[in-house]
C-alpha cells in the first residue's frame, strides 16, 4: 500500500462558487414559490368575492322575474284589460308624437329635387319602432321621379327605398305621379 505524501496528487476542487450559486438559485425559487402561493390565495379570495356578487345578482334577477310574473298575472286579469289597452294606445301615441316633423321636412327638403312636388306623406312605425314613410310625389317629367328615388337612396337620412307605381298624366291631372315607401333614419 502506497501512502500519498504529495498533496499535489489530488488537486484542490473549487466547489464553493457552485454551492453559492445553487444556494442563490434555491433562494430565488423559494421566493418565487412564495409569490405564486400568495397570488393563488389572492385569486381564490377574489374569485370567492366575485362568486358571491354573482350569486347576489342572480338572486336579484330571480326576485325581479318573480315580481314581473306577479305583475303580469295582475295585468292579465279581465278587469284590467281596459287599462292595458289604454296604456298600449298611449304608448303608441307617444311614439308617433316622437317623430320630429320639422326635422323630417328639413331632410325631405334637402333630398327632393326642385321639380318634384310632395303630394302626401304618411308616417308609420314598423314592428321594430322604425319610422316608415309612404310618400306620394308628382312631377312634370318621369325622369324627375327617377331622380327623386335616386336622391332618396343617396341620402343618409333615408334607407331601403321601395318604389311602388307611377301614374301617367291625365286630362284632369297634368303631372306624372309616383309613390315610394322608405325607411326614415330618425331615432325615436
Range of the domain at 133: 100-184
118 lies in the same domain as 167: yes
pTM for this entry: 0.49
Binned at pLDDT 50, 70 and 90, residue 4 comes out as low
Q: pLDDT digit string (tens) for 69-122? A: 998 888 888 887 788 888 888 877 766 666 777 888 888 888 888 888 989 988
| Rounded Cα–Cα distance for residues 149 and 151 (Å) | 5
57 lies in the same domain as 111: no
71 lies in the same domain as 109: no
| Rounded Cα–Cα distance for residues 86 and 71 (Å) | 17
Binned at pLDDT 50, 70 and 90, residue 51 comes out as very high
**Closest Cα partner for 151 from 125, 119, 177, 116?**
116
Residue 7 lies in a domain: no
Structural domain ending residue among the three candidates 60, 76, 92: 76
Residue 92 lies in a domain: no
**Domain total in the chain:** 2
Q: Would the pLDDT of 142 be above 70?
A: yes
Amino acid at each position: 500500500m502506497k501512502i500519498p505524501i504529495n498533496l499535489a496528487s489530488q488537486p484542490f476542487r473549487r466547489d464553493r462558487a457552485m454551492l453559492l450559486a445553487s444556494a442563490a438559485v434555491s433562494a430565488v425559487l423559494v421566493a418565487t414559490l412564495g409569490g405564486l402561493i400568495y397570488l393563488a390565495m389572492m385569486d381564490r379570495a377574489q374569485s370567492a368575492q366575485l362568486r358571491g356578487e354573482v350569486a347576489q345578482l342572480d338572486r336579484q334577477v330571480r326576485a325581479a322575474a318573480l315580481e314581473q310574473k306577479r305583475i303580469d298575472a295582475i295585468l292579465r286579469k279581465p278587469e284590467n284589460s281596459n287599462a292595458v289597452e289604454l296604456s298600449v294606445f298611449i304608448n303608441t301615441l307617444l311614439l308617433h308624437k316622437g317623430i320630429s316633423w320639422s326635422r323630417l321636412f328639413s331632410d325631405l327638403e334637402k333630398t327632393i329635387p326642385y321639380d318634384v312636388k310632395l303630394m302626401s306623406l304618411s308616417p308609420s312605425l314598423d314592428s321594430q319602432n322604425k319610422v316608415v314613410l309612404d310618400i306620394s310625389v308628382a312631377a312634370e317629367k318621369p325622369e324627375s321621379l327617377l331622380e327623386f328615388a335616386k336622391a332618396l337612396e343617396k341620402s343618409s337620412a333615408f334607407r331601403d327605398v321601395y318604389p311602388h307605381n307611377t301614374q301617367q298624366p291625365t286630362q284632369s291631372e297634368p303631372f306624372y305621379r309616383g309613390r315610394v315607401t322608405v325607411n326614415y333614419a330618425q331615432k325615436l
